[in-house]
Chains A and B, each alone.
Chain A
């Protein structure tokens, strides 16, 4: 759901390891989920999306898993690289009409060389 003014949780991984970033979403009626990556000083950038009728989707080095039972979304990054260091946001689009996207609180990923 909407971020509530908390400092970002941080995940620190070694270069080459796999990263798993988790997100709990708020609206069980949401149809569409997206992961965005935000680098310092830039706007969020689309990474991968998944529709509510799926439970897994793979991209290049990234996989998104959706568990609608517990309203949980995760982003897996394989062979994490220094360029993956950023803040990652999950986002949902409720099926209430319109295109409003609601962002989660975000997770900061640090990749150690």
Chain B
């Protein structure tokens, strides 16, 4: 049973380009979460999705950022017109969605570098 898979592992973009980060949850998991981490800092919640629905996007900037989790395929975090301040590690996590209180299973992250 493969864990949470994120790709690419490293992504380099120039200012103004678009970044697309992919996350495939663990098999059987229907809940996906995206977190952002700056060096030497904790993980900051961005968005929580279930299949085809955004449940909580309170941590995601209103502009340039979007997320989706389609019925088929991976969850995508999309950052348009990237700026240097977007450089960070972006982690995806999944959970089964079967209980009220659940631990998260994390992928290895995508390191985004904006030149």
Contacts and interface: CB of A to CB of B under 8 A. Distances in A.
Contacts of A93: 101
Q: How large is the interface on B (under 10, 10 to 19, 20 to 34, 35 or more residues)?
A: 20 to 34
B31 interface: yes
A67 to B, nearest CB: 19
A43 B4 contact: yes
Contact of A43 (B100, B103, B108): B108
Interface stretch (B38-46, B61-69, B71-79): B38-46
A54 to B, nearest CB: 12
Main secondary structure on chain A at its contact with chain B? loop
A43 B91 contact: yes
A49 B103 contact: yes
Given A43-B109, A45-B106, A2 B42 contact: yes
Given A43-B93, A43-B106, A98 B55 contact: yes
A100 B48 contact: yes
A51 B31 CA distance: 21
B103 A3 contact: no
B56 interface: yes
A3 B41 contact: yes
Interface residues of A, number: 29
Contacts of B100: 31
Contacts of B91: 43-44
A103 B102 contact: no
A100 B56 contact: yes
Interface of B: 4, 31, 33, 35, 38, 40-45, 48, 55-56, 91, 93, 95, 97, 100-109
14 contacts: A2-B45, A3-B43, A6-B41, A32-B101, A36-B106, A43-B107, A43-B109, A46-B103, A99-B101, A100-B48, A100-B56, A103-B35, A105-B42, A106-B42
Given A44-B104, A98-B55, 20 more contacts: A2-B42, A3-B41, A3-B43, A3-B44, A5-B38, A31-B100, A32-B101, A36-B106, A42-B108, A43-B91, A51-B101, A99-B31, A99-B33, A99-B95, A102-B45, A103-B42, A103-B43, A103-B45, A105-B42, A106-B42
